[in-house]
Chain A
Amino acid sequence: MSDVDITLKVWRQDGPDQKGRFETYQTQATPDMSFLEMLDVVNDSLEEGQKLPISFDSDCREGICGMCSLVINGVAHGPGEGTTTCQLYMRSFADGDTITIEPFRARSFPVIRDLVVDRSAFDDIVQAGGYNSVNTGSAPDANSVLVSKDRAEEAMDAAACIGCGACVATCKNASAMLFVSAKLKHLNVLPQGQPERRERSRAMLKAMDDAGFGHCTNEYECEAVCPKEISVGTIAFLNREVYRSSLVTSSLAPTVTGE
């Protein structure tokens, strides 16, 4: 495959309260470049011309840290199923393509600069209940707390969430339900998560609403862009947990079960 000539339309914004605008750049990329490497090359040439480089988030560049973002041609993390932006390669684009790059948009994800948004609202939600605070003592004997294979798989599927925020970015309501449900489910389905199950459901829902995220209209766009392919069935689980938490009183809530 040969190199591709690309026209980029990139959202530039000098600061949180500044007005943003699109700027156009021409660049050349090899097919084996990742999308972020392509942006690195654009930034190198901007710096050579004494211009400010495009700000964007990235860290591990292997699809596990949840740091990279970007809405590429109207799709969070760009084309390709189950991938983050750093796992997107320029071979996905044709010679002469115009690529529009925008930051994740949501009131709860304010733009800091250019394509960088503040996703600390997610941290607030996890701080509200996405943890276990009960003292579980020293490491238990192997197999003394039984977890069925299916249950373990369910918990692991939910725990795959890397908190990138693509679900919020793609949702027309900026709903964080897929993220919140994943962060809730990986604890609520396991025996170790039972003592705080009810409080966790209530606290995480409250934190989600307080942070200003929208509601879910069951259009499942989040599932389609999630780099970890978390199912919207997880959202149905969150709904059930919330109803359950309002019906079950604290004293009746099950403590550790071997379910």
Chain B
Amino acid sequence: MFSTSIGKKLGMALTGLVLYSFLIGHLAGNLQLFFDDGGTAFNTYAEFMISNPLLVPTEFVLLGALVLHVWFAASLTRLSRQAKPQGYAVRQAVGGRSLASRTMIWSGSTILIFLVIHIRTFKFGQTGEGGLFALVADTFHQPGWAAGYVVVMTVLGFHLWHAMHSAFQTLGWHARAGWRRASILMSILIAGGFAAIPIYFFLAQ
């Protein structure tokens, strides 16, 4: 099944939705950074997550989904390039083709590189007295880090722009215009929510 073109698309959709759900959960947890309590709530939450026995299995599921998502994307992009070796001299976008939809592989690659840096900084970063909250605050007090995160979150929003309704269509659920709009709204909410964190800490120092 997963060796066919539709099977690979199914793989993209399923792993994509797993990663999408993670993003929602991740954002929900991160919103505690905005609590005006010197980071108590967020640090308690971070401690709870680190000491949770379900953390490692969940991380493996996410890593698996990520690896498969990247693998299927690479395989399908290769297929696509082979199927259309020559483009047109004049090209006019029609239908639902957008800048976001045609740059999925590039926005995805950017997020992949970002992930390595992000995990190194926050998962394996040195936390001191103030816990993870202080690490987040210190990181985003630096203009370079704050700006970099905002840029990458914009790219993430771009990636999600063509994500949800596309996944549903692949799963066999005809995603009509309303779903496409919902998908775009979700991408703005998620990317905006994440981008608000560096902006907030940079301005709050």
Contact residues of A with B, CB < 8 Å? 9, 22, 71, 73-75, 100, 102, 105-108, 170-175, 205-206, 208-209, 212-225, 231-233, 235-240, 242-243, 246
Is B96's CB under 8 angstroms from A221's CB? yes
Q: What is the bound-complex CA distance between A232 and B166, given in angstroms?
A: 12
Taking CB atoms and an 8 Å cut-off, the chain B residues in 146-186 that contact chain A are 162, 165-166, 169-176
Interface size class of B (residues with CB under 8 A): 35 or more
* A–B pairs, 25, beta carbons within 8 Å: A22-B89, A71-B90, A75-B94, A100-B89, A105-B84, A105-B86, A105-B87, A107-B82, A172-B80, A172-B84, A172-B97, A205-B6, A208-B5, A215-B76, A217-B101, A220-B95, A222-B95, A224-B94, A231-B174, A232-B174, A237-B172, A239-B9, A239-B170, A242-B7, A243-B10
Known A73-B92, A217-B104; 16 more pairs at CB < 8 Å: A100-B90, A102-B90, A172-B97, A173-B80, A206-B4, A208-B5, A214-B79, A215-B8, A215-B79, A218-B170, A219-B97, A219-B162, A237-B174, A242-B6, A243-B10, A243-B172
In residues 28-62 of chain B, which contact A (Cβ within 8 Å)?
none
B77 smallest CB distance to A (angstroms): 9
Chain A proximity mask over B1-23: 1 for CB below 8 Å, otherwise 0: 10011111110000000000000
Q: Does B128 contact A (CB under 8 A)?
A: no
Let me know if B94 and A105 touch, CB within 8 A. no
Name the B residues within 8 Å of A221 (CB-CB).
93-97
Check if B96 sits within 8 Å of A108, measured CB to CB.
no
**B9 with A216: CB separation less than 8 A:** yes
A224 to B10, CA, bound (A): 24
**Across the interface, do A74 and B90 meet the contact criterion of CB distance under 8 Å?**
yes
Task: Considering the complex, give the chain B residue whose CB is closest to the CB of A238.
Answer: B6
Q: Which residues of B contact A71 (CB under 8 A)?
A: 88, 90
Interface of A: prevailing SS: mixed
Q: What's the least CB distance linking A213 to chain B, in Å?
A: 6
Work out how many contacts link A and B, with CB atoms closer than 8 A. Answer: 134
B: which residues have CB within 8 A of A? 1, 4-10, 76, 79-80, 82-98, 101-102, 104, 162, 165-166, 169-176
Q: What is the distance, in angstroms, from A127's C-beta to the closest C-beta of chain B?
A: 19
Q: Given the known A-B contacts A217-B166, A218-B96, A232-B169, are A174 and B6 also in contact in the complex, defined by CB atoms under 8 Å? A: no
Q: Tell me the bound Cα distance from A231 to B170 in angstroms.
A: 14
Minimum Cβ distance to chain A for residue B66 (Å): 20
Closest-by-CB residue of A relative to B168 is A236
Report whether A106 and B84 are in contact in the complex, using a CB–CB cutoff of 8 Å.
yes
Give every chain A residue within 8 A of B7 (Cβ-Cβ): 242
A224 to B175, CA, bound (A): 15
